[in-house]
Amino acid sequence: MNFTLRQLRIFTVVAEHKSITKAAKELYLSQPAVSIQLKKFQQQFDLPLTELIGKQLYITDFGQQIVNSAHSILAEVDAIEYNSNIFKGRLAGRLRLSIVSTAKYVMPYFLSGFMHLHPEVDLLMDVTNKRQVVADLEKNEADFGMVSVVPTNLDLLHVSLMPNKLYLVGEVAKDGAEHPKTLKSLTKHPLLFREAGSATRDAMEDFLSHKRARAGKKIELTSNEALKQAIIAGLGYSIMPLIGIKNELKNGDLEIVPLPGLPLTTEWDLVWLKSKKLSPVAAAYLEFIRREKDRIAMDKFGWTEQY
Protein backbone atom coordinates (compact mmCIF):
# COMPACT_ATOMS: atom_id res chain seq x y z
CA MET A 1 0.00 0.00 0.00
CA ASN A 2 1.19 3.49 -0.83
CA PHE A 3 -1.37 5.93 0.56
CA THR A 4 -0.35 9.27 2.04
CA LEU A 5 -1.11 11.01 5.31
CA ARG A 6 -2.94 13.68 3.29
CA GLN A 7 -5.24 11.01 1.86
CA LEU A 8 -5.87 9.64 5.35
CA ARG A 9 -6.87 13.09 6.60
CA ILE A 10 -9.14 13.71 3.63
CA PHE A 11 -10.86 10.35 4.04
CA THR A 12 -11.54 10.92 7.75
CA VAL A 13 -13.15 14.30 7.01
CA VAL A 14 -15.23 12.83 4.18
CA ALA A 15 -16.33 10.04 6.52
CA GLU A 16 -17.26 12.54 9.24
CA HIS A 17 -19.47 14.63 6.95
CA LYS A 18 -20.54 11.83 4.57
CA SER A 19 -20.17 14.47 1.90
CA ILE A 20 -17.36 15.38 -0.47
CA THR A 21 -18.71 18.91 -0.80
CA LYS A 22 -18.72 19.55 2.97
CA ALA A 23 -15.32 17.92 3.36
CA ALA A 24 -13.88 20.14 0.64
CA LYS A 25 -15.25 23.22 2.41
CA GLU A 26 -13.72 22.24 5.76
CA LEU A 27 -10.37 21.37 4.17
CA TYR A 28 -10.28 24.52 2.01
CA LEU A 29 -9.91 22.36 -1.10
CA SER A 30 -11.87 22.17 -4.32
CA GLN A 31 -14.42 19.39 -4.66
CA PRO A 32 -12.54 17.79 -7.60
CA ALA A 33 -9.31 17.78 -5.53
CA VAL A 34 -11.03 15.88 -2.71
CA SER A 35 -12.64 13.46 -5.18
CA ILE A 36 -9.28 12.72 -6.83
CA GLN A 37 -7.55 12.02 -3.52
CA LEU A 38 -10.46 9.87 -2.35
CA LYS A 39 -10.29 7.84 -5.58
CA LYS A 40 -6.52 7.34 -5.23
CA PHE A 41 -7.00 6.26 -1.61
CA GLN A 42 -9.73 3.77 -2.60
CA GLN A 43 -7.40 2.22 -5.19
CA GLN A 44 -5.18 1.01 -2.34
CA PHE A 45 -7.90 -1.40 -1.15
CA ASP A 46 -9.74 -4.34 -2.69
CA LEU A 47 -12.88 -3.63 -0.65
CA PRO A 48 -15.02 -0.50 -1.09
CA LEU A 49 -14.65 2.24 1.51
CA THR A 50 -17.78 4.13 0.50
CA GLU A 51 -21.02 3.55 -1.34
CA LEU A 52 -23.40 5.97 -3.01
CA ILE A 53 -27.11 5.33 -2.49
CA GLY A 54 -29.16 7.86 -4.38
CA LYS A 55 -27.25 11.07 -3.75
CA GLN A 56 -26.13 10.14 -0.23
CA LEU A 57 -22.60 8.96 0.49
CA TYR A 58 -22.24 6.18 3.06
CA ILE A 59 -19.18 4.66 4.70
CA THR A 60 -18.99 0.86 4.49
CA ASP A 61 -18.19 -1.30 7.53
CA PHE A 62 -14.70 -1.82 6.13
CA GLY A 63 -14.40 1.92 5.51
CA GLN A 64 -15.31 2.61 9.13
CA GLN A 65 -12.51 0.31 10.29
CA ILE A 66 -10.11 2.31 8.14
CA VAL A 67 -11.47 5.53 9.66
CA ASN A 68 -10.79 4.21 13.16
CA SER A 69 -7.25 3.21 12.22
CA ALA A 70 -6.69 6.53 10.46
CA HIS A 71 -7.63 8.47 13.59
CA SER A 72 -5.04 6.52 15.58
CA ILE A 73 -2.34 6.99 12.93
CA LEU A 74 -2.99 10.71 12.56
CA ALA A 75 -3.02 11.17 16.33
CA GLU A 76 0.43 9.57 16.51
CA VAL A 77 1.70 11.79 13.71
CA ASP A 78 0.37 14.86 15.51
CA ALA A 79 2.00 13.65 18.72
CA ILE A 80 5.37 13.39 16.98
CA GLU A 81 5.06 16.96 15.73
CA TYR A 82 3.89 18.25 19.11
CA ASN A 83 6.64 16.40 21.01
CA SER A 84 9.21 17.83 18.65
CA ASN A 85 8.08 21.34 19.54
CA ILE A 86 7.99 20.50 23.24
CA PHE A 87 11.62 19.36 23.11
CA LYS A 88 12.42 22.73 21.56
CA GLY A 89 10.88 24.35 24.63
CA ARG A 90 7.66 25.48 22.95
CA LEU A 91 4.12 24.70 24.08
CA ALA A 92 2.44 22.53 21.47
CA GLY A 93 -0.73 20.51 21.14
CA ARG A 94 -4.40 21.01 20.39
CA LEU A 95 -6.92 23.16 22.22
CA ARG A 96 -10.51 21.96 21.66
CA LEU A 97 -13.41 24.27 22.40
CA SER A 98 -17.18 23.93 22.07
CA ILE A 99 -19.08 27.21 22.36
CA VAL A 100 -22.66 28.38 22.02
CA SER A 101 -23.29 30.36 18.85
CA THR A 102 -23.61 33.78 20.51
CA ALA A 103 -20.21 33.24 22.14
CA LYS A 104 -18.61 33.65 18.71
CA TYR A 105 -18.80 37.40 19.40
CA VAL A 106 -16.81 36.92 22.63
CA MET A 107 -14.56 33.86 22.54
CA PRO A 108 -12.09 35.00 19.82
CA TYR A 109 -10.99 37.92 22.02
CA PHE A 110 -10.24 35.50 24.87
CA LEU A 111 -8.17 33.35 22.49
CA SER A 112 -6.10 35.64 20.30
CA GLY A 113 -3.51 36.58 22.92
CA PHE A 114 -2.93 32.96 23.89
CA MET A 115 -2.66 31.79 20.27
CA HIS A 116 -0.12 34.52 19.48
CA LEU A 117 1.94 33.52 22.50
CA HIS A 118 1.94 29.86 21.43
CA PRO A 119 2.02 29.57 17.61
CA GLU A 120 2.54 25.78 17.74
CA VAL A 121 -0.84 25.28 19.43
CA ASP A 122 -3.64 24.16 17.09
CA LEU A 123 -7.19 25.33 17.73
CA LEU A 124 -10.37 23.38 17.07
CA MET A 125 -13.53 25.33 17.94
CA ASP A 126 -17.06 24.06 17.38
CA VAL A 127 -19.72 26.80 17.29
CA THR A 128 -23.05 25.21 18.16
CA ASN A 129 -25.84 25.46 20.77
CA LYS A 130 -25.89 24.76 24.50
CA ARG A 131 -27.26 21.24 24.08
CA GLN A 132 -24.35 20.23 21.84
CA VAL A 133 -21.78 21.93 24.08
CA VAL A 134 -22.98 19.70 26.92
CA ALA A 135 -22.72 16.63 24.66
CA ASP A 136 -19.19 17.57 23.56
CA LEU A 137 -18.08 17.89 27.18
CA GLU A 138 -19.73 14.61 28.16
CA LYS A 139 -18.05 12.74 25.29
CA ASN A 140 -14.67 14.36 26.05
CA GLU A 141 -14.63 15.95 22.59
CA ALA A 142 -13.84 19.38 24.02
CA ASP A 143 -11.39 20.64 26.64
CA PHE A 144 -13.62 23.60 27.48
CA GLY A 145 -17.07 24.88 26.71
CA MET A 146 -18.31 28.45 26.71
CA VAL A 147 -21.88 29.08 27.82
CA SER A 148 -23.94 31.89 29.31
CA VAL A 149 -25.75 29.56 31.74
CA VAL A 150 -23.73 26.80 33.44
CA PRO A 151 -25.40 23.40 32.87
CA THR A 152 -26.57 21.82 36.13
CA ASN A 153 -26.61 18.21 34.92
CA LEU A 154 -22.81 17.93 34.77
CA ASP A 155 -20.17 18.16 37.49
CA LEU A 156 -18.35 21.20 36.13
CA LEU A 157 -15.76 23.73 37.12
CA HIS A 158 -16.00 27.21 35.64
CA VAL A 159 -14.40 30.62 35.34
CA SER A 160 -16.65 33.64 34.83
CA LEU A 161 -15.37 35.85 32.01
CA MET A 162 -17.83 38.75 31.79
CA PRO A 163 -21.53 39.64 32.13
CA ASN A 164 -23.96 38.75 29.36
CA LYS A 165 -26.80 41.29 29.09
CA LEU A 166 -29.93 40.51 27.08
CA TYR A 167 -32.26 43.27 25.90
CA LEU A 168 -35.52 43.47 24.01
CA VAL A 169 -34.66 44.55 20.48
CA GLY A 170 -36.81 45.91 17.66
CA GLU A 171 -36.44 47.68 14.33
CA VAL A 172 -35.86 51.42 14.51
CA ALA A 173 -39.23 53.13 14.98
CA LYS A 174 -40.26 55.22 11.96
CA ASP A 175 -42.93 57.78 11.08
CA GLY A 176 -44.00 58.37 14.65
CA ALA A 177 -44.53 54.67 15.40
CA GLU A 178 -44.01 53.58 18.99
CA HIS A 179 -42.64 50.41 20.46
CA PRO A 180 -44.68 48.46 23.03
CA LYS A 181 -44.17 49.77 26.56
CA THR A 182 -45.58 46.81 28.49
CA LEU A 183 -45.24 43.06 28.27
CA LYS A 184 -48.96 42.75 27.53
CA SER A 185 -48.68 45.03 24.51
CA LEU A 186 -45.46 43.28 23.41
CA THR A 187 -47.16 39.87 23.17
CA LYS A 188 -49.58 41.30 20.61
CA HIS A 189 -46.60 41.48 18.23
CA PRO A 190 -44.79 38.49 16.70
CA LEU A 191 -41.90 37.32 18.89
CA LEU A 192 -38.78 35.84 17.36
CA PHE A 193 -36.99 32.93 19.07
CA ARG A 194 -33.81 30.95 18.54
CA GLU A 195 -34.07 27.19 18.03
CA ALA A 196 -34.66 24.67 20.85
CA GLY A 197 -31.42 24.02 22.73
CA SER A 198 -30.31 27.65 22.56
CA ALA A 199 -29.56 29.36 25.88
CA THR A 200 -30.88 32.64 24.44
CA ARG A 201 -34.19 30.97 23.70
CA ASP A 202 -34.27 29.45 27.20
CA ALA A 203 -33.68 32.88 28.75
CA MET A 204 -36.43 34.45 26.68
CA GLU A 205 -38.93 31.69 27.45
CA ASP A 206 -38.06 31.76 31.16
CA PHE A 207 -38.65 35.51 31.22
CA LEU A 208 -42.07 35.19 29.57
CA SER A 209 -43.01 32.25 31.79
CA HIS A 210 -41.97 34.07 34.97
CA LYS A 211 -44.14 37.02 33.91
CA ARG A 212 -46.96 34.62 32.96
CA ALA A 213 -47.00 36.00 29.45
CA ARG A 214 -47.61 34.01 26.29
CA ALA A 215 -46.44 34.94 22.82
CA GLY A 216 -49.29 35.45 20.38
CA LYS A 217 -47.23 34.52 17.33
CA LYS A 218 -43.83 32.82 17.45
CA ILE A 219 -41.19 32.76 14.73
CA GLU A 220 -38.19 30.46 15.11
CA LEU A 221 -34.79 31.05 13.51
CA THR A 222 -31.62 29.02 13.87
CA SER A 223 -28.95 31.73 14.08
CA ASN A 224 -28.40 35.13 15.61
CA GLU A 225 -27.61 36.59 12.20
CA ALA A 226 -30.95 35.42 10.81
CA LEU A 227 -32.67 36.74 13.91
CA LYS A 228 -31.13 40.20 13.47
CA GLN A 229 -32.09 40.41 9.82
CA ALA A 230 -35.66 39.37 10.60
CA ILE A 231 -35.97 42.11 13.23
CA ILE A 232 -34.46 44.71 10.90
CA ALA A 233 -37.02 43.67 8.28
CA GLY A 234 -39.81 44.33 10.78
CA LEU A 235 -40.91 40.75 11.43
CA GLY A 236 -41.14 41.22 15.19
CA TYR A 237 -39.25 41.59 18.47
CA SER A 238 -36.75 39.41 20.28
CA ILE A 239 -34.63 39.34 23.44
CA MET A 240 -31.00 39.23 22.30
CA PRO A 241 -27.50 39.39 23.85
CA LEU A 242 -26.07 42.90 23.69
CA ILE A 243 -22.66 41.71 22.48
CA GLY A 244 -24.18 40.39 19.25
CA ILE A 245 -25.85 43.62 18.13
CA LYS A 246 -23.11 46.23 18.61
CA ASN A 247 -22.81 47.15 14.94
CA GLU A 248 -26.56 47.18 14.32
CA LEU A 249 -27.09 49.57 17.24
CA LYS A 250 -24.25 51.78 16.07
CA ASN A 251 -25.55 51.86 12.49
CA GLY A 252 -29.12 52.57 13.55
CA ASP A 253 -30.50 49.31 12.16
CA LEU A 254 -31.83 48.11 15.50
CA GLU A 255 -32.72 49.74 18.78
CA ILE A 256 -33.16 48.58 22.35
CA VAL A 257 -36.77 48.71 23.52
CA PRO A 258 -37.09 49.55 27.26
CA LEU A 259 -39.30 47.06 29.09
CA PRO A 260 -39.83 46.40 32.82
CA GLY A 261 -37.77 43.41 33.99
CA LEU A 262 -35.09 43.84 31.33
CA PRO A 263 -32.22 43.53 30.73
CA LEU A 264 -31.64 39.95 31.79
CA THR A 265 -28.10 39.36 33.00
CA THR A 266 -26.18 36.08 33.00
CA GLU A 267 -22.44 35.36 32.90
CA TRP A 268 -20.23 34.16 30.09
CA ASP A 269 -18.44 31.18 31.60
CA LEU A 270 -15.60 28.95 30.51
CA VAL A 271 -16.57 25.46 31.75
CA TRP A 272 -14.92 22.04 31.91
CA LEU A 273 -15.56 18.68 33.51
CA LYS A 274 -14.31 18.45 37.09
CA SER A 275 -13.03 14.95 36.38
CA LYS A 276 -11.10 15.96 33.25
CA LYS A 277 -7.32 15.71 33.28
CA LEU A 278 -6.26 18.84 31.44
CA SER A 279 -3.56 18.54 28.80
CA PRO A 280 -0.54 20.85 29.08
CA VAL A 281 -2.11 23.10 26.43
CA ALA A 282 -5.49 23.20 28.18
CA ALA A 283 -3.84 23.88 31.56
CA ALA A 284 -1.77 26.69 30.04
CA TYR A 285 -4.88 28.22 28.48
CA LEU A 286 -6.74 28.09 31.78
CA GLU A 287 -3.84 29.86 33.50
CA PHE A 288 -3.86 32.49 30.74
CA ILE A 289 -7.62 33.07 31.14
CA ARG A 290 -7.43 33.43 34.91
CA ARG A 291 -4.61 35.95 34.53
CA GLU A 292 -5.93 37.99 31.58
CA LYS A 293 -9.75 37.72 31.60
CA ASP A 294 -10.47 40.98 33.43
CA ARG A 295 -8.16 42.99 31.20
CA ILE A 296 -9.62 41.48 28.03
CA ALA A 297 -13.20 42.05 29.20
CA MET A 298 -12.49 45.72 29.93
CA ASP A 299 -10.42 46.39 26.81
CA LYS A 300 -12.73 44.67 24.34
CA PHE A 301 -16.16 44.91 25.97
CA GLY A 302 -16.04 47.99 28.15
CA TRP A 303 -18.47 49.58 25.65
CA THR A 304 -21.31 47.41 27.04
CA GLU A 305 -21.33 49.45 30.26
CA GLN A 306 -22.99 52.39 28.50
CA TYR A 307 -26.22 50.36 28.12
- Tell me, yes or no, whether 158 and 105 share the same domain: yes
Domain residues for the domain of 149 are: 91-162+267-306
Q: What are the pLDDT digits (tens) for 143-177?
A: 999 999 888 888 999 999 999 999 999 999 887 78
What 3 state SS string does 107-162 have?
Answer: HHHHCHHHHHHCCCEEEEEEEECHHHHHHHHHCCCCCEEEECCCCCCCCEEEEEEE
Report the alpha-carbon distance of residue 289 to residue 159 in Å, rounded: 8
Same domain, 158 and 292: yes
How far is C-alpha 299 from the geometric centre of its chain's CA atoms?
23
For residue range 145-154, what is the model confidence (pLDDT) as tens digits?
Answer: 999 988 888 8
Same domain, 111 and 138: yes
The answer on 196 and 289 residing in a single domain is no
Task: Tell me which amino acid residue 252 is.
Answer: G
Supply the CATH number for residue 49's domain: 1.10.10.10
> Taking the CB of residue 116, how many other CB atoms lie within 10 A of it?
8
Q: What is the pLDDT of residues 191-209, one digit of tens each?
A: 999 988 888 899 999 999 9
Which phi and psi angles does 50 have, rounded to 5°? -135, 165
pTM over 0.85: no
Domain count, the chain: 3
Q: Is the pLDDT of residue 80 over 90?
A: no
Asked if 19 and 38 sit in the same domain, the reply is yes
CATH code for position 276:
3.40.190.10
Same domain, 147 and 180: no
Q: Quick one: 157 and 202 in the same domain?
A: no
